[in-house]
Amino acid sequence: MTKIGFVRHGSTAWNKERRAQGSADIPLDEDGIIQANKLAERLSMENWDVIYSSDLLRARQTAEIISERMGNKQIVLEPRIREVSGGQIEGTIESERIAKWGHNWRELDLGMEDVESVIKRTLPFIQEIQEKHENMNILIVSHGACIQCLIQELVPQVEFEGHLENTSITELNKTSNGWTCNLYNCAKHLDS
């Protein structure tokens, strides 16, 4: 059985400010580094064969902290698992978007990437790593919206609620009947 663990990166200053990050290359903040270390401690007690990470800094830093705790396991950087592009809204907060484009800004074409585009770039990556690492445990460090798009595509029969927590892990298993989700948005390591 192939298992994929999807990890959302640690927190950033923009997360706290509620700024749209998208493809902006924002580093982890101090809390994000602490979160990533807590997650790394948890994952070091599990069996993960390979780590893939978005090439954006916040995900890469999270993956590097995890890798170090796992004895410097190699990280493969993958641009196809970057966050959903926010187009013109990147770097803005809700009040700035309303001031600039009005309350209906979500209905405007501001260059934001749609779900179809996200699936078109991410699903071939998932299929490739599934074939390359059959019956292995694959850790993927990515971004909230990107991960949620993928999970909804791979496990459409399950309804998932809420935003993914920073450094949460969601696990999918590939069986003969398709993908199943046995852990969703788990951030219990942050309680310690």
List residues forming the annotated binding site.
8-15, 58
**How many CA atoms are closer than 13 Å to the CA of 25, on its beta-carbon side?**
7
Burial of 133 (C-beta count, 10 Å sphere; 0-12/13-18/19+):
middle
Q: Are 182 and 173 in contact (CB under 8 A)?
A: yes
Burial of 106 (C-beta count, 10 Å sphere; 0-12/13-18/19+):
exposed
- The token pair at 117 is 């585009």
Torsion of CA 163, 68, 37, 20, to 10 degrees: -40
Q: Are 32 and 11 in contact (CB under 8 A)?
A: yes
Q: Are 144 and 158 in contact (CB under 8 A)?
A: no
Q: Given 17, 30, 64, 83, which residue is catalytic?
A: 83
Quick check: is 116 catalytic?
Answer: no
Binding site listing for substrate: 8-15, 58
Quick check: is 107 catalytic?
Answer: no
Percent of the chain that is helix, strand, coil (3-state, to 5) = 45, 20, 40
Provide the annotated active-site residues: 9, 83
